[in-house]
């Protein structure tokens, strides 16, 4: 899994690769972490990215908030171009519906 974290006041932007060991249907454990930015190069020449983190358990939720991250609008973030096109069409349809509603 590749992970992108938007920077905050104390921490800058980060991009990392993480790997997880699936223990069962509801439990995973992170076993690998490596930063993908140049500032991380010196750290990983001295330290191994293979780690054994705490075990994480799945917690079901009744509903999830929508994920309208601005990165989803960037074509390069999608593995399949057709998925990106579908997403952009949904975004456009939402804009049109919102525009129509605001006129009434």
User: pLDDT category, 93, cuts 50, 70, 90?
Assistant: very high
Q: Is the pTM of this model over 0.85?
A: no
User: pLDDT category, 56, cuts 50, 70, 90?
Assistant: confident
pLDDT digit string (tens) for 12-55?
667 778 888 889 989 988 888 877 766 655 555 556 667 777 88
Structure tokens at 3: 């992970």
Could you tell me the residue ranges of all domains in the chain? 2-57, 70-103
Structure tokens at 101: 């509603």
- Alpha-carbon distance of 16 to 4, in angstroms, equals 7
The average confidence (pLDDT) of the chain is 78
Structure tokens at 26: 């509801």
């Amino acid at each position: 899994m590749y992970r992108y974290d938007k920077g905050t006041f104390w921490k800058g932007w980060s991009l990392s690769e993480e790997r997880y060991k699936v223990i069962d249907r509801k439990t995973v454990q992170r076993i690998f972490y490596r930063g993908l930015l140049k500032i991380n190069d010196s750290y990983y020449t001295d330290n191994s990215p293979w780690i054994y983190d705490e075990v994480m358990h799945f917690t079901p939720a009744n509903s999830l908030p929508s994920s309208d991250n601005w990165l989803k609008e960037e074509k390069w973030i999608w593995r399949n171009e057709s998925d990106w096109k579908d997403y952009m069409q949904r975004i456009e349809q939402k804009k049109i519906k919102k525009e129509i509603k605001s006129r009434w």
